[in-house]
Amino acid sequence: TLVDYLHEWETWSAQILESHLSYPVLMYYRSLHERQSWLAALTAILDTSALLIVGFEDISIPSARFTFAMARHAAVDLAQVFETPPPEAMQTRLSSTDFIHLRDGLAEVGLHFRNEDEAEQRLGDLCRIYEPFVQALAEHLLVNLPPWIPASRTVDDWQTSAWDHFAQWSPEKLEEITHNIVDHRKKVRATREEEHHQHTSGAEEQHVEKGVS
C-alpha cells in the first residue's frame, strides 16, 4: 500500500542521511543508468509527500508528513556537509502551467485536491522549503532533477538496448506488451471481484429468505 511505501521511503531517506554523512564520498557514486540517482529518488519522494500533505478528497495519509520531514532533513544536512548553499535566484520546478497539467492528470485517475483553490499555493510553499537544497546538490553533483511534468515521452532503461536499430523489438512494442499484461490482470481482478460480489449478494438473499420463512 501507499502507507507502506511511505514508511519504506522514510527509512531509506534516513539510511541515505546516515551513510552519506558518515562516508561523504558515497554521494559521488553514480547509478548504472544516467537518468537515475539517489538525489533524483530523494526529490521524487519529497514531491510525492508534498502532494499528499496538500491533500486529496477522501484520502488521509498522515504518515506523509513523517516521510517528508525525514527526506527534507536528509537534503538539508547533505547540502550543509558539502557547503552547497541554496541558490539566491531559484527557478521553480513546478510552473503554473505544469500544475494545471498535474491537476488534470490526477483528476483523470480520480484524485482531486481537497481544497483546489489553495492547492497550488500550498504545494508551492512546500516545494520552496526543500527544492533549494536539492537543486544546490544537483548543481554540485552535475545531475538532473526529475521534472514534475516530463517534456516528452521518455523510454525506461529496461525498454531499450544498443541493438534496437535492427532488433525485432522496440520500446513501443515492449510498452504495448506491458500494457496488455496489466490490462489483462485488471480484467481478471474485476471479474473475480464481480463474482465475489454476486456470491455474497446471493448468500445474503438466501439468508433473508430463510429468516422470512
Amino acid code (one letter) for 167: A
Whether the CB-CB separation of 133 and 76 falls below 8 Å is answered with yes
Secondary structure class of 147 (helix, strand, coil)? coil
Query: 45-49 long-range CB contacts below 8 Å, 24 or more apart?
Result: 45/9, 45/12, 45/13, 45/71, 46/71, 46/72, 46/75, 46/130, 46/134, 47/127, 47/146, 47/148, 48/9, 49/6, 49/9
What value does the mean pLDDT take over residues 140-160? 78
Name the grid cell of 60: 488521509
Whether the CB-CB separation of 28 and 132 falls below 8 Å is answered with no
Name the grid cell of 129: 522549503
Question: Looking at the whole model, is its pTM more than 0.85?
Answer: no
Nearest alpha carbon to residue 76 among 10, 145, 137, 11: 137
Would you say residue 212 has pLDDT above 60? no
What value does the mean pLDDT take over residues 86-107? 86
Please give the C-alpha separations between residue 68 and each of 74, 86, 135, 149, 202, in angstroms, as whole numbers. Answer: 10, 19, 17, 20, 46
Distance of CA 23 to the CA centre of its chain: 27
pLDDT of residue 32: 74
What value does the mean pLDDT take over residues 69-83? 92
- As to burial, measured by CB atoms within 10 angstroms (0-12 exposed, 13-18 middle, 19+ buried), residue 172 is exposed
Would you say residue 70 has pLDDT above 70? yes
Q: Categorize the per-residue pLDDT at 79 as very low, low, confident or very high, splitting at 50, 70 and 90.
A: very high
Whether the CB-CB separation of 145 and 138 falls below 8 Å is answered with yes
